[in-house]
């Protein structure tokens, strides 16, 4: 299997030595599922795209510090590419910003969560529709770090999971789109580093709640396995 990483952001320099860039995080995670997976990275912020959408088996859109509703040329270009992938029913995985961008590009709605920042490990409760996408469980825990979220599904979109603060934390569309609001690629160390960096933004109480949430077991590898199986089928 060959995956295309549509990279939409960079890791802060002080974190890269220990945690790598976002494509590195995804490669490390997916190699735990299948060591033979290979990757192509496309720096879409710089306008890098595949010359042929079939040069990989599927695409993964990463997270970003920006908002999908920002009127920025590279974001608009990525939305157009998502529409092309959709029209050709090419496998497409969206993570956090990627989850929101896919929804917005295909007619859904994204905006700021009324509850503010959603950080730490969150329990995602799966719907009955999730089984159609290979998500065979009742719930899963993965780290989150977002202030925006999907508010309305795009036409044809199916709700696959929700959390207490995020009503659309996973979405499926057709047989080719699967997205998650949370971050299965985040190690606990990187997720904690982001929390430490944004302590003043979150406030002490919210920060402590997020730190304490890491006492809960995470299911990052399970989510990665679902993604690989989905792209393979």
The residues annotated with a catalytic role in the active site are 96, 183, 185
- At which residue do the structure tokens 């003043």 appear? 200
Q: State the distance between the two ends of the chain, measured CA to CA, in whole angstroms.
A: 11
Burial, 17: exposed, middle or buried (Cβ in 10 Å; 0-12, 13-18, 19+)?
Answer: exposed
Rg of the chain, C-alpha, whole Å = 16
* Of the candidates 89, 77, 104, 211, the residue with the CA atom closest to the CA atom of residue 168: 104
Distance CA 78, CA 59 (A): 12
């Amino acid at each position: 299997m060959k995956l295309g990483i549509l990279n939409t952001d960079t890791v802060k320099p002080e974190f890269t030595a220990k945690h790598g860039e976002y494509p590195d995080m995804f490669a490390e995670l997916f190699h735990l599922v299948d060591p033979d997976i290979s990757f192509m990275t496309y720096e879409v912020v710089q306008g890098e795209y595949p010359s042929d959408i079939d040069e990989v088996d599927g695409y993964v859109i990463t997270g970003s510090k920006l908002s999908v509703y920002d009127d920025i040329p590279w974001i608009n270009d990525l939305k157009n590419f998502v529409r092309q992938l959709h029209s050709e029913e090419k496998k497409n995985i969206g993570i956090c910003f990627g989850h929101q961008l896919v929804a917005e590009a295909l007619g859904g709605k994204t905006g700021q969560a009324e509850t503010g920042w959603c950080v730490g490990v969150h329990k995602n409760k799966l719907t009955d529709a999730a089984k159609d996408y290979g998500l065979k469980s009742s719930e899963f825990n993965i780290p989150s770090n977002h202030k925006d979220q999907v508010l309305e599904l795009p036409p044809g979109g199916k709700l696959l999971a929700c959390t207490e603060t995020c009503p659309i934390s996973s979405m499926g569309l057709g047989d080719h789109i699967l997205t998650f609001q949370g971050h299965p690629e985040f190690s606990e160390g990187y997720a904690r580093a982001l929390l430490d960096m944004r302590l003043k933004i979150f406030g002490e109480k919210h920060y402590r709640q997020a730190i304490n949430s890491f006492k809960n077991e995470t299911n990052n590898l399970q989510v990665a396995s679902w993604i690989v199986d989905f792209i393979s089928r």
